[in-house]
Chain A
């Protein structure tokens, strides 16, 4: 296992009586791209600001390279931040903005010149040295902000929704560029976003946050395929989630009673009568004209949405819930208004323990 470059141990933060981050434990490995993912207000920015030193921790400790940083001011910490709103210095041109960290450290002028030149080349802004931030587009400002942070060779780069203000196309392009940059430089990125798609495409690991707590930490694939909580299952990608109680256990095969009907899944450590959740991705739903053993999910096909080659359908189940259903090719045997019997391969669904809250 790679060494941890940033360690959060039982970190808490409260503003007044508002507990924003709770008992957070996180080991960030050297060189990885770690994303803090969660809905707005879940404490991502606050966590990042505690690592950077802009907020004190209310409890717990933060270590960077094994050294506690509680007593260090932001300017004494070996981490740099790319701010949500860029925060470029408006009275300085691009060159001076990028050179700022080196100027402060009193690096010799000609060394600054070569390093700024290299950095601007890296973010493809050569020739923009004399421009003021006002005269830059959003994407260009973003590049300057990244260059300004990276020129200090930080151990860790903290990025707070850096692409949030960009339009979709530019965002996709910058996602790729950032990921490439991170691989090339080998710097640890701690990346904050509320966009699950962005998190899935860019990250080595994702920490899914919910209400100041990390619900799950894992690779994008782990998180997508094996969500550990109902929240993670619903937040990451599209998913059908059913709440029910275990009716029968046969090895790992569970039969579960839900308001929508009977269904099967696979899971370990569940007891008969236990309340639990089942999550199934739309692409794993199957529909038959005849009832399927182990399932009792009759429903009516609602509307079709054609997305190129894929077809999306919704199926109204008997309790009024809607099952999202998608498949690669259009199914000729299934038309709007038909009654179908929904099922899936039990191992394709995820059995989720019910957690408090």
Chain B
């Protein structure tokens, strides 16, 4: 197609050519073309087929308000080709077609639309019942627009940016640019977001005169120039805002240009104040076949010509409700287009100069007329017009029908920021009634059209935003207010919602193929709120969301209900305002996990690392089944485990002990200096939250403790203490040392022999007994806090050292242990070792309803500290004699030859009576043993348990309650 050249408004560079591929052919595009404009230039008029009726769909708007021109591009479905630049080598495919967009084998669906009234699916397909499962498959195949392959892998660089700004201006039209300039002049840092690749907005493509002199597009470039030169304004073009969240957190997605190092980037801006200057889209005109390819909006036709040098058609008809439509008709004629007629919905109120210019050009001009039907197959060939009352008709042959009822303010940024909207009778808009704090609106979004008013309102909003950021701009605000008051205010909007038609093929929502008739059907069935009609007819729930129906639906509903108390009620606008790819949201998908200070050496030693919540931990080192070698090594020799993931804290200050008393079940006042106590924490229900050890540091008088929490509970422990001390005014400090300290567990009968070689202290059993706590150095250098604990049931030490010393201590111990054959052990081995000892892991042997008594840990509860108001104590007292609670028991298999049951298997009789927590083959005992939570009736020793494993099909296996611990019941080995 021949392009208009030499227009000052053009945004293409025809000399820079690139090819895109469509239907097996290369189609030339110019730099600056979108995919859609390039295809249009190559004669493509049908871009795809509609969802339900497979109607042909063409270029209608250029800002992606509907899915008409969404296509698959390089395997990515639903790409808005109107807004995506054409890049060399792109492969483009039409969607929802069987065959091609022009010849779609499912095109006959359109003729069946009568059989699919609103709510069709709800009322059919379920009779008779067996039909439904079959119908589902059909429905699924019919539904959906684009397709994605299950093995699709996206390519490209998806970046993220989190800037901070004083003022964020959304929209780079005249109002937005003036707002940005005003805020920048006040000395603020401004971010300006513009969805199009350039600033200029409403002025950019227009050749009308600016009241201040020159032409509108010249003024646009002048303002853009000033914005670009302003040192404190950062402009993001091709950056569509996706939502505003609490406290002016504004998100957007920016498309990378040819020279950007990213393909796309997610922007999340924290701004002091926001100015929404997003202007208007057009309110679609409702008439028969109002979405036939060839029908397009005013801005679409006008920008096609002015920005991309493409005349929308050979014979162009207009049906509009505003002066901008008249201006576009005249401008197209000026550019050499053949305008066959202009129907103006308005009887009066037009700019007389425009009317006169139409007359001068001998363009047939009809006031009080409107298009009622688009005809032609498959694209537009003729249009029918009538008076708005429908009494007189005329027909014009045309291949483009430029149709627009009025404007719709793009209030999405305000909606998502939390503004409430109400219907405004003068403009016919839903306008914000009250804006959230530090949020402003400017420009056409307020109903303004006059170029000077737009600029002044922008300036005013920019100044008000500056005031929000603490700038003293009162005088300037007053001046701007006065200036705005003296300029033309909001224009009266065109009230016509629909042409005089029955509405069988009048589409209120293109994406969902919802017609006026469907809306009427919904209303007849009792759906009288726009929000419910939306759900029942699906209008506004497709890819373009409310873009097409968002304004017309509530107007139509209010008009049809025609009762005076029914003010139009808008449907809800939700983020994302433009739909980003999941790849764009996911961005770099940075993984923030934690590694212990000896992570590398664990992995190098063959540790199989596993993500456990935020941590990476070694599950096993050896290849032997069930970590048998590691287990045996600990039982008979000596092993080392990296336990750095334990929560570690210091609490100190005059009231530190009171805080501990509150949250721990035991008595924390009774820990002697430099001693340690094992303790448990319960929630208000007396259920076990956490366990750990508490060390009293310093002298007897010091209120200074070091304590531990289980892996993964560090954060919650801090919050728990903070919460329970909140109203007490206690004076203490709590420091989370979890990442500052590492922990090594040295365990096994030879552990002392290893330690003796390196510790600068007497670590004999007398000097450092079981449950003892010592502080000493290793090799005269490494400061350690050493605890003798017995989680795995052997002679065992826990060393807590500053993280920076962890690797050194690990290496020292490994070297000292080499002569004994010391080995690493991992979580898998630890799990069996502790299970043999009957030691619980929270969440494994306890559920959230398991209290301290249920676990047999009642000895950790000191009931003689009532003044402490111990969390959970009341509940423990109440639960003490309750029947039917699940209790922790040990069991072995009734048939010695049976294997251990699978963890999690229920214990049953005629109902479920409990379940297996952990069961393993114990190498030490040479038989399977396990722990289970069972109803109290089943706890006596010798009780037979029937275990129902998944997939057992009724073949139960049996266990028998035995006492715990299974291994070394007297605890001699820990005390060795």
Partners in one complex: no
